């Protein structure tokens, strides 16, 4: 009896999901399916490549290898990434790369340009480590996990990472907003950790700005195909700066990135039809 009921429920649920997926009208199922494709495919890739990392754990070359495989997920969800001024990221030197943080999709953008940077270690919040298998694979691939609720411990972790950055000419990629910014009209205030590290190590800061993800509208359950521009700005030197200069440095960098973000917004949005369902219009 119960097996028939369960079987019937599965058929009904499957029929409903398929109907929603093939529907031309935006809906919750279609919207979430794009993210599920990203999460599930990434996790499967993580399981596949993890054994290769065990023999050389926490090596940034592991991240490069992983990125060249996982980046192809972006083709499935139909997003194209366009890197501008990538020669700045390609320079063989230690630096702190900071960028705006809009979505979990940012990591796909990073994967698509990782081969340009080559030697880079991403910084992520500690909670992501426990999302296995992706978290474990990321750890073995050289991702640095920090506890944002413990600033002293986070600083120690970043300090140890910065020593490696200087020695091996490796770049550190940090999202200074600290969390995903769902407001596509402005940047959130920057936390000072990335700037403290750059000043302490006397390495340049490389601002990287992602254009707004105009093709995503969470309120209307829209996830269209689209493109995103990743704009590298000119490096900002920290030579001769001290910790007392950090607040001014933060404002300077945020101001430069805000202007670039606004310009990118105008560029990508101006090319859209007048009736395009933008999230910023809600």
* Integer angstrom CA distances of residue 41 from 36, 108, 123, 126, 154: 8, 12, 22, 22, 30
Q: What's the topology of domain 2-281?
A: Glycerol-3-phosphate (1)-acyltransferase (3.40.1130)
Residue 237's pLDDT is 94
Positions of E strands within the chain: 79-84, 95-99, 120-125, 144-146, 171-174, 205-210, 216-217, 222-223, 226-232
Residue 26's pLDDT is 77
Residue 1's pLDDT is 66
Region of residue 202 (left: phi > 0; alpha: psi -120 to 50; beta: else)? left
Residue 129's pLDDT is 78
pLDDT, tens digit, 9 for 90 and up, residues 263-281: 999 999 888 888 888 775 4
For residue 32 the two structure tokens come to 């979430």
Residue 42's pLDDT is 81
Longest dimension (CA), the chain: 77
CB atoms within 10 A of CB 145: 18
Residue 204's contacts (CB-CB under 8 Å, 6 or more residues apart) are 93, 95, 96, 198, 235, 236, 237, 238
For residue 113 the two structure tokens come to 């340009």
Contact between residue 171 and residue 142 where contact means Cβ atoms under 8 Å apart: no
Residue 211's pLDDT is 94
Residue 204's pLDDT is 94
Contact between residue 170 and residue 120 where contact means Cβ atoms under 8 Å apart: yes
Residue 69's pLDDT is 83
Residue 132's pLDDT is 75
- Give pLDDT < 50 ranges for the chain: 281-282
């Amino acid at each position: 009896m119960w097996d028939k009921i369960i079987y019937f429920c599965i058929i009904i649920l499957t029929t409903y999901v398929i109907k929603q997926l093939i529907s031309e009208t935006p809906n919750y199922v279609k919207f979430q399916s794009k993210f599920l494709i990203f999460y599930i495919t990434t996790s499967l890739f993580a399981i596949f490549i993890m054994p290769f990392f065990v023999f050389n754990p926490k090596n940034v070359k592991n991240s490069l290898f992983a990125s060249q495989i996982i980046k192809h997920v972006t083709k499935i969800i139909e997003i194209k990434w366009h890197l501008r001024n990538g020669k700045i990221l390609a320079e063989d030197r230690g630096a702190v790369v900071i960028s705006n943080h809009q979505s979990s999709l940012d990591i796909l953008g990073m994967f698509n340009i990782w081969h340009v940077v080559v030697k880079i270690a991403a910084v992520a919040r500690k909670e992501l480590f426990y999302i296995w298998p992706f978290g474990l694979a990321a750890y073995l691939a050289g991702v640095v996990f920090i506890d944002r609720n413990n600033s002293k411990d986070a600083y120690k972790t970043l300090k140890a990472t910065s020593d490696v950055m200087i020695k091996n000419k490796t770049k550190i990629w940090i999202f200074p907003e600290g969390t995903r910014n769902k407001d596509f009209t402005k940047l959130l205030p920057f936390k000072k950790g990335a700037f403290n590290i750059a000043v302490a190590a006397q390495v340049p800061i490389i601002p990287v700005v992602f254009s707004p993800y105009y093709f995503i509208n969470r309120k209307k359950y829209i996830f269209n195909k689209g493109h995103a521009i990743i704009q590298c700005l000119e490096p900002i030197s920290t030579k001769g700066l001290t910790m007392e200069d950090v607040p001014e440095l933060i404002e300077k960098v945020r101001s430069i990135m805000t202007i670039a973000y606004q310009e990118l917004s105008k560029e990508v949005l101006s090319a859209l039809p007048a009736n395009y369902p933008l999230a910023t219009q809600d």
